[in-house]
Homo-oligomer: A and B are copies of this chain.
Amino acid sequence: MQNIKDYIEANKQRFLDELFELIRIPSISPEKEHKDDMYCAAKLWKKIMIKSGCDIAKVMETEGNPVTYGEKIIDNSLPTVLVYGHMDVMPVGKEELWKSPPFEPEIRDGKIWARGADDDKGQAFMHAKAFEYMVKSNTLPCNIKFIIEGEEEIGSPNLKKFMEDNKEMLKADVILVSDTSMIAPDIPSITTGLRGLTYMEVELTGPKHDLHSGLFGGAVANPVNVLTKMLASLTNKKGEITIKGFYDDVIKVSKAERAEMAKAPFDKKKYKDTIGISRLSGEKGYSTNERTGIRPALDINGIWGGYIEKGTKTIIPSKAYAKVSMRLVPNQDNKKIAKLFEKHFKKLAPKSVKTDVRFLHGGESYVSPIDIPAYKAAEKAYTEIFGKKPIPVRSGGSIPIISTFEKVLGIKSILMGFGLASDAIHSENENFPLEMFFKGIETIPAFYKYYAEK
Tell me the A residues contacting B by CB distance below 8 Å.
30-32, 90-91, 93, 97, 154-155, 181, 195, 197, 199, 206-222, 224-225, 227-229, 231-233, 235, 239, 275-283, 288-289, 291-292, 295-317, 320-323, 325, 327, 350-352, 360-361, 395-398, 421, 424-429
Contacts and interface: CB of A to CB of B under 8 A. Distances in A.
21 contacts: A31-B310, A32-B310, A91-B307, A93-B315, A212-B426, A213-B325, A215-B397, A216-B275, A217-B292, A218-B283, A218-B295, A218-B296, A225-B231, A228-B300, A279-B352, A281-B352, A300-B306, A302-B308, A303-B308, A303-B320, A308-B323
A314 B213 contact: no
A312 B154 contact: yes
Given A224-B300, A278-B351, A210 B323 contact: no
Contact of A30 (B209, B221, B280, B311): B311
A323 B306 contact: yes
A220 B275 contact: yes
A201 to B, nearest CB: 8
Contacts of A91: 307, 309, 313
Nearest to A235: B225
A282 B219 contact: yes
Contacts of A297: 213, 217-219
A317 B93 CA distance: 10
Contacts of A32: 310
A327 to B, nearest CB: 5
B314 A301 contact: yes
Given A30-B310, A197-B314, A309-B30, A395 B215 contact: yes
B327 A213 contact: yes
Nearest to A353: B277
A15 to B, nearest CB: 26
Contact of A228 (B214, B227, B397, B398): B227
Contacts of A213: 297, 299, 301, 325, 327, 426
A302 B224 contact: yes
Contact of A426 (B210, B281, B298): B210
A128 B408 CA distance: 77
B214 A397 contact: yes
A280 B218 CA distance: 10
A301 B275 contact: no
A405 to B, nearest CB: 18
Contacts of A288: 219
A275 B305 contact: no
Contacts of A277: 206-208, 220-221, 352
A317 B295 CA distance: 20
A276 B195 CA distance: 42
Given A303-B303, A314-B398, 9 more contacts: A31-B309, A214-B327, A218-B295, A218-B297, A218-B327, A224-B302, A278-B352, A301-B316, A303-B306
Contact of A31 (B210, B311, B397): B311
Nearest to A194: B214
Contact of A218 (B199, B351, B396): B396
Contacts of A305: 300, 302-304
A292 B327 contact: no
A216 B352 CA distance: 35
Given A214-B195, A396-B216, A313 B292 contact: no
Given A31-B311, A219-B288, A312-B30, A208 B275 contact: yes
Contacts of A219: 280-282, 288-289, 291-292, 297, 396
Q: Give the interface centre of A195, A218, A321, A322 by most chain B CB atoms within 10 Å.
A: A218
Q: Give the interface centre of A97, A217, A276 by most chain B CB atoms within 10 Å.
A: A217
Contacts of A361: 312
Contacts of A225: 231, 235, 298-300
A227 B212 CA distance: 24
